[in-house]
Amino acid sequence: MRSIDVREVTGQVARMVVEANIGLPRDVFAALRKARENEDNPSGREILGQLLENARLAREMNLPLCQDTGLAVFFVEMGQECRLRGDLYQAINDGVSQGYAQGYLRKSVCNPLSRKNTGDNTPASIHLDLVPGDRLKIRFMPKGGGSENMSGLAMLTPSHGLEGVKEFVLQRVAVAGPNPCPPGIIGIGIGGSFDQAPLLAKKALFRSLDDIHQDQEVRDLEAELFESVNSLGIGPMGMGGKTPCLGLKIETAPCHIASLPVAVNIQCHAARHKEVSL
Amino acid sequence: MSQEIKLSTPFQEEDVLKLRTGDKVLLSGRIYAARDAAHKRLLQDLDQGMEAPFNLQGAVLYYVGPTPAPPGRVIGSAGPTTSSRMDAYTPRMHVLGIKATIGKGRRSEEVRRVLREQKAVYLGATGGAGALLSRCITGSRVLAYQDLDTEAIRELEVQDFPLLVVNDAYGGELYATARL
């Protein structure tokens, strides 16, 4: 059985939280560039230009792309044939604590009642899945509060059907308008239970923008909703125009015969993520 | 027609009155960083009869919680946060003398009404352009509530800070979907 010392996890996490906050992923940069080429609204085009320049400057100045360096969200896939020496949750949190300090990242986590800041951006939100194999895959996303606040869940019922799902998604994106720093990415979770749908929506945000869903039905729905969301005319930072989002991704899971949960998780244009496989 | 206007702080009423929704503003001078926790505490302190840590008359507030300044820089990444979270406090801030706020996203109907009544403006900065905007900040010092860390009240020195007038003092609205 393969064995991994969790100290290695801490080191990798400390490194990836900093890198993710400074470097905009290539697919997102390309999507922003394409959006600027296609945007007719002059204000919108100027804003997209600022975002591309911001991404370039962040790398050059070694500064975070955005001051909101997020709540640290992790999706960890652990191979069943991998044995860990040490406490994985502690190791990830230690990596977050070290990385956020060393990388001059903002500490944005507080007690929900007293609002007292925890001081080191921990605890992270860690989702752990057991998978076949002997690898340990760690995916990280710093999730900003502004776009997270614009997200939502609806416990629809079967009579609402697919139309109800589409209506809810459009309503969420329209209500969010300029607030979540568009053009971002819309993650959608359909099905599962009250707890699963938002998790599916968040997982969808980890997919690369050029990733194609295996299920044709999901693929078609993604294309249709992407089109509808575009027609809302929100534009970059809500200035109007045809670039409200860079991508729309859907994940589904079977649900109860009485239910149709749908969750929309909105991601700003600073769609940062990093992945490491140990 | 929208225009590009250079302005310095503090604002006089005539500065505000020449701004129209859609105008570009390049702002220079001192502005004050305050977000959720600082607003709440500042208003509580004023209720207790304490003095504000800076002169509110004509002042410009920036809704920002910057990242820590790395060595050799005055500030880290420093873009705007979502303004609507401050809507609950904003009408009172304008009555106290604040002439402009800077953030991102839409404001409530009540805030827009108070902007007309108090002759004040709401300015938008590009959200998520924190590295770019930090280059226009040439000075930063904490004025109050150091314990709030990133949420402390800071005095920032800005030079040609790029903004757009979102809501002017005449009821103008920049966002395409403001009424949804």
pLDDT tens digits for A102-160? Answer: 999 999 999 999 999 999 999 999 999 999 999 999 999 999 999 999 999 999 999 99
Please count the other Cβ atoms lying within 10 Å of the Cβ belonging to residue A164.
16
CB-defined contacts A:B, below 8 A: 153
pLDDT in tens, B133-155: 999 999 999 999 999 999 999 99
Q: A238 contacts in B (CB within 8 Å)? A: 105-106, 174-177
Mean of pLDDT values over B50-71: 97
Return the residue in B133, B164, B177, B179 with the most chain A beta carbons within 10 A, the one to mutate for interface testing. Answer: B177
pLDDT of residue B176: 66
Return the residue in A50, A53, A67, A109 with the most chain B beta carbons within 10 A, the one to mutate for interface testing. Answer: A67
Put simply, the answer to whether B177 touches A181 (Cβ < 8 Å) is no
How far does the CA of residue B178 sit from the closest CA of chain A (Å)?
Answer: 8
Average pLDDT, chain A: 95
Is A80 buried (19+), middle (13-18) or exposed (0-12) by CB count in 10 A? Answer: exposed
| Distant-in-sequence, close-in-space partners of B106: CB < 8 Å, separation ≥ 6 | A177, A178, A179, A238, B83, B84, B166, B175, B178
Report chain A's terminal Cα–Cα distance, integer Å: 14
Q: Which two tokens stand for residue A154?
A: 């609806």
pLDDT of residue B74: 96
% of chain A exceeding 90 in pLDDT? 90
In chain A, the residue whose alpha carbon lies closest to the alpha carbon of B148 is A117
Put simply, the answer to whether B65 touches A177 (Cβ < 8 Å) is no
Residue B178 above 50 pLDDT?
no
Mean of pLDDT values over A235-253: 89
Measured in whole angstroms, the distance separating CA A245 from the mean position of its chain's CA atoms is 13
pLDDT in tens, A69-97: 999 999 999 999 999 999 999 999 999 99
Residue A260 above 60 pLDDT?
yes
Nearest CB among A54, A175, A177 relative to B131 is that of A54
| DSSP symbols for B103-153 | EBS---HHHHHHHHHHT-EEEE--TT-HHHHHTTEEEEEEEE-GGGGGGSE
In chain B the domains, ranked by start, together with CATH numbers, are 4-167 (3.20.130.10)
If pLDDT is split at 50, 70 and 90, which confidence band does B177 have? low
**Residues A32, A213: contact at Cβ < 8 Å?**
no
pLDDT of residue A250: 98
Spatial CA neighbour of A178 closest among A67, A68, A44, A49 = A44
In chain B, the residue whose alpha carbon lies closest to the alpha carbon of A67 is B77
Asked if the C-beta of B103 comes within 8 angstroms of chain A's C-beta atoms, the answer is no
% of chain B exceeding 90 in pLDDT? 94
| DSSP symbols for A28-68 | HHHHHHHHHHH---HHHHHHHHHHHHHHHHHHHHT--SSS-
pLDDT of residue B158: 98
pLDDT in tens, A205-230: 999 999 999 999 999 999 999 999 98
Mean of pLDDT values over B29-52: 97
Tell me which of B15, B33, B39, B62 is the catalytic residue: B39
Q: B82 contacts in A (CB within 8 Å)? A: 145-146, 149, 179-180
B62-86 CB burial, b ≥16 within 10 A, e <16: bbbbbbbbeeebebbbbbbbbbbbb
Residue A274 above 60 pLDDT?
yes
B39 classed as catalytic: yes
Put simply, the answer to whether B129 touches A63 (Cβ < 8 Å) is no
Q: Where are the domains of chain A?
A: 2-20+65-143, 146-271
**Residues A263, A152: contact at Cβ < 8 Å?**
yes
Residues A104 and A100: their CA atoms lie apart, in Å, by: 6
**Residues A25, A271: contact at Cβ < 8 Å?**
yes
Q: Which two tokens stand for residue A266?
A: 């909105």
**Residues B32, B60: contact at Cβ < 8 Å?**
yes
Residue B1 above 90 pLDDT?
no
Return the residue in B77, B87, B175 with the most chain A beta carbons within 10 A, the one to mutate for interface testing. Answer: B77
| DSSP symbols for chain A | -EEEEHHHHHHHHHHHHHHHHHSPPHHHHHHHHHHHHH---HHHHHHHHHHHHHHHHHHHHT--SSS---EEEEEEEEETTEEEES-HHHHHHHHHHHHHHHTT-----B-TTT--B-SSSPSPEEEEEEESSS-EEEEEEEEPHHHHTT-EEEEE-GGGHHHHHHHHHHHHHHHHTTTT-SSEEEEEEEES-TTHHHHHHHHHTTS-TT---S-HHHHHHHHHHHHHHHTT---GGGSSSS-SEEEEEEEEE---TT-EEEEEEEE-S----EEEE-
**Residues A179, B82: contact at Cβ < 8 Å?**
yes
**Residues A116, A107: contact at Cβ < 8 Å?**
no
Does the interface ipTM go beyond 0.85? yes
Put simply, the answer to whether B70 touches A62 (Cβ < 8 Å) is yes
Please count the other Cβ atoms lying within 10 Å of the Cβ belonging to residue A232.
18
